[in-house]
């Protein structure tokens, strides 16, 4: 990779002993071995480049209980992308309104690693990138309550699941 060859070239240019150069190279490869081993998954939902910026996006329904592992993974992934290049941005799109998310969501938002967008702000940002007004399309075409049976609607209401019809 380009980053690896740049690092090797830099280490070789240092006026230090070969043993120290080898140790520096070895230390450099430790985090990359973790990534390559599958311990750290750098995959997100969407990657694209626009106006010279590489965007790394993840989409979540929301953050409720038991999200610590997912939050830690997202922080790690964004950290790695930030270290790779200065023109990398991590965007997090969350379906739920900000007030419906918990402290794990706030951890990501306050981290400085993610630009976070919730609910309708997601659609505004997506429209900026694509020109497509998905919010207007959903409002016109995704009429979930009209498309499900009253029995299913009652089931969703009884089990506090109606929030999943809100897109």
pLDDT in tens, 34-90: 655 555 556 667 888 999 998 989 898 888 766 677 788 888 888 877 776 678 889
**Phi, psi values for residue 92, rounded to 5°:** -120, 120
pTM over 0.85: no
* pLDDT value for 5: 79
Residue 12 half-sphere exposure toward CB, CA atoms < 13 A? 6
CA distance 109 to 103: 10
CA distance 86 to 17: 31
Are the beta carbons of 91 and 53 closer than 8 angstroms? Answer: no
Sorted by sequence, the CB contacts under 8 Å of residue 74 that are 6+ apart come out as 58, 92, 108, 114
């Amino acid at each position: 990779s380009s980053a690896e060859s740049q690092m090797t070239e830099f280490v070789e240019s240092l006026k230090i002993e070969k043993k120290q150069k080898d140790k520096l190279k070895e230390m450099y490869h430790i985090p990359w071995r973790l990534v390559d081993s599958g311990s750290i998954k750098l995959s997100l939902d969407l990657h694209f480049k626009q106006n010279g910026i590489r965007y790394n996006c993840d989409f979540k329904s929301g953050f409720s209980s038991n999200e610590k592992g997912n939050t830690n993974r997202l922080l790690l992934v964004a950290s790695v992308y930030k270290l790779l290049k200065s023109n990398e941005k991590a965007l997090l799109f969350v379906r739920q309104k900000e007030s419906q998310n918990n402290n794990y969501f706030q951890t990501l938002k306050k981290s400085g690693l993610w630009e976070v967008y919730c609910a309708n702000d997601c659609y505004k940002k997506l429209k900026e990138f694509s020109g497509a007004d998905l919010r207007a399309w959903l409002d016109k075409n995704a009429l979930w309550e009209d498309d499900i049976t009253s029995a299913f609607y009652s089931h969703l209401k009884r089990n506090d699941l109606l929030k999943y019809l809100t897109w």
